[in-house]
Chain A
Amino acid sequence: MVKEKRIGTGKSSLLLLGVMLLGSFLSAAAQDRIKIELNMGQERPRIAVPDFKGANGDPQTAPLNTVFNQVLWNDLDNAGIFDLVAKSFYPSQTPGQPAELQAKAWGDPPPNAGVITFGNLGVNNGKVDVQGWLYDVKNPGAPQILGKQYKEDATPDMARTIAHRFADEIIARLGSGIAGIAESQIYFVSTRSGNKEIWSMDYDGANQKQITKLGSIALSPRISPDGSRLAFSGLAKDSWQIMMYSLELGRTVAFPRNAGDNFSPAWASDGTKIAFASTVHSGLSEIFVADANGAGARRLSTGKGDVSPVFNPKTNGQIAWVSGRTGLPQIYVMDADGSNVQKMTDQGYAVSPAWSPNGLLLAFAWVRNYGPGVLGGSDIYLMDIASRQIIQLTHDGGRNDFPSWSPDGRHIVFQSNRTGNEQIWSVLADGTHLQQLTRQGRNSQPNWSFK
């Protein structure tokens, strides 16, 4: 039984996510694995990514060029929308300038590339200069698609940043106009300072840095849509409170306290509202929504043990959350004013909903066949909200939890203890390209930035 579901972007006629159901979970006997394929409605472009050439003999040129080439390759590979032509197929002569490009040698087999990116990097007077191009080598005229130049301080960090920026330009040009994620950030909880604090890293796991220094327990980081503020749950002297860290000021800023415990914040994608769970009303946790500055908190749900709200980022008109009102936790959706409550799952142990950027999918963690003696196996699943079709994303055992979508909707980051202790992993939304991003300490609750 094969069924295909297409999810458009609205504006673009290009197919963003082709959801191919290889089997239906409704059929008990059928194999219930479902794959999502990410493509552009056509073949994935075959892109050749020869190393950029060193433009001069400055001693810093070679090491920075090595960093740049690695990061650019990984970014294009991670994007999930290209086939990268293996380097063993490349012609012996590599271009560093458009004049050196022999388009036919790249467009013909064996490389059989559709597009090529190339360029050069040189360090002059403490500045690193990068020139990069993207050419279509299948067209007879081999037209230029993109040409960019960058100049920054000659540091490995800036070489990395330039590679991210150039990769994002290529991805935006070839990826249906959806911006790349190479400059996005992932926020997460780490124990490596001795207690749970919020940390950040680049999307590929580089540059891991401690953000908060609360000294007690910090959980559930949620970055604001503009990337300036980080909301999280912090254990204060006698209660959990929503806390706010300003990345611009480099410190925690005031946020109103509520009586009782307050945790699991979530931003509306327009930055005007924060939803969270609070026990202030009944002693049991219920979903509240407040203005972005914490003022005007009002209760939306009346459940027993409601937690983990998340806005539909496309409309901000709905909130998904977790409730234990009927026993084991299940995923629910309501309108942003608390009306029109719908139960989305009705078996197992379903928690940690994450709403896809296009508003169409919910990722969540599910112990699907929960029962005595079958505890512990939690996997990441995707649900197409309109049809309630469910797709299993991870199959590798252990406890997988806290999925969070990349800004382009093509990747999911999550926590998994598959290696023995909790670490952060990322995966393409079609289940491929699984990567471990953290290794030190125990790391959990990743949250991908909005852009």
Chain B
Amino acid sequence: MNKSTSNRIVVLGVLAFLLVASGCKKKQPAPPPPPPPKAVSATLSANPTSIEAGQSSTLTWSTENATDVALDGNKVDPSGSQTVSPTQTTTYHLTAKGAAGTQEATAQVSVTPKATPTPTPAPTPPPITEDQLFAQTVKDIYFDYDKADLRPDAQQALAQAAQVIKQKGWKVQIEGNCDDRGSTEYNLALGERRADSAKQALIRNGISADALKTISYGKEKPQCTDQNEDCWQKNRRDHFSLLH
């Protein structure tokens, strides 16, 4: 019960006492003509108005000039409170009857189903970004010296990558690269052929040409600069980037 409600009850109680006391005093002289019946009033409130199933709410009501007060058909005091624990949303009716007539008031208590305790979540891997997923799915493919033909392993890798690219609706930039032994300008041309080889393979695997862009970096963006076959092989590659 909050403070304003209790204040109101005190005030109403004092008023009722004064009325009763004055009424007592006025009975002593000759009875005056009966006063016109006073208007009946009724209020009903619920606190809280919304509960979870199993919890309770307090109904508080007050009436004036009522002789017969009932809450949902059960006779109650003219003013009072009552704890309720409805299992579903319920509207409570207060009926106050007096000489001047009948007043009704209603209050609703909303009931939400009891929250089932959340099970402790199973440990899940931290979410990966789209770029990380792309990098895991569409990996570099490698070429032989001065060749732009796809090796069998590259063809297989691209066929698998194509499934995900299609499903995700990714747009892909294919970047052709060369090792540093060839000539700068010719390597740009060779890188274009390498990028185009991958593009054609992805198209054969159902990717739209519109989702594919090619560029050659020739020998301008090496992964390593050692002068040995390991490093040269690393640089003879198509790299794939997700376009945003």
Contacts and interface: CB of A to CB of B under 8 A. Distances in A.
Contact of A283 (B185, B188, B214, B220): B214
A324 B186 contact: yes
B88 to A, nearest CB: 62
A304 B193 contact: yes
B244 to A, nearest CB: 12
A308 B186 contact: yes
A219 interface: yes
B17 interface: no
Contacts, number: 92
Interface in A276-327: 277, 279, 283-285, 304-308, 322, 324, 327
B214 A307 contact: no
Contacts of A365: 183
Given A217-B220, A376-B181, A444-B184, A283 B189 contact: no
Contacts of B215: 238-240, 261
Q: Is the interface of B mostly helix, strand, loop or mixed?
A: mixed
A329 interface: yes
A351 interface: yes
Instruction: Classify chain A: how many residues form its interface, as a range.
Output: 35 or more
Residue picked from A238, A285, A308, most chain B C-beta under 10 Å: A285
B196 interface: yes
Given A196-B220, A261-B215, A279-B214, A351 B196 contact: no
Given A283-B199, A284-B192, A264 B181 contact: no
B146 interface: yes
Contacts of B213: 238
B183 A235 contact: no
B171 to A, nearest CB: 12
A4 B6 CA distance: 125
Interface string A320-353: 0010100111000000000000000000010110
B190 interface: yes
Nearest to B213: A238
B54 interface: no
Interface string B204-220: 00000000011110001
Contact of B192 (A283, A328, A349): A283
Contacts of B173: 238
B220 A352 contact: no
Contacts of B189: 277, 284-285, 305-307, 322, 324, 329
A233 B188 CA distance: 11
B213 to A, nearest CB: 7
Interface residues of B, number: 22
B113 to A, nearest CB: 55
Nearest to B243: A238
B80 interface: no
Nearest to A309: B185
Contact of A220 (B146, B185, B199): B185
Interface in A202-228: 217, 219-220
A129 interface: no
Contacts of B148: 305
B183 A328 contact: no
Contacts of A277: 185, 188-189
Nearest to A352: B183
Interface in B189-235: 189-190, 192-193, 196, 199, 213-216, 220
B188 A284 contact: no
Residue picked from A261, A322, A375, A445, most chain B C-beta under 10 Å: A261
A263 interface: yes
Given A239-B215, A261-B215, A285-B192, A329 B186 contact: yes
7 contacts: A261-B215, A277-B189, A284-B189, A284-B192, A304-B193, A305-B193, A375-B145
Interface of A: 196, 217, 219-220, 233, 235, 238-240, 260-261, 263-264, 277, 279, 283-285, 304-308, 322, 324, 327-329, 349, 351-352, 365, 375-376, 378, 399, 401-402, 444-445
Given A352-B185, A365-B183, 18 more contacts: A219-B184, A219-B185, A238-B213, A240-B215, A260-B214, A277-B185, A279-B192, A285-B216, A305-B186, A305-B190, A322-B185, A324-B146, A324-B186, A329-B183, A352-B183, A402-B184, A444-B184, A445-B184
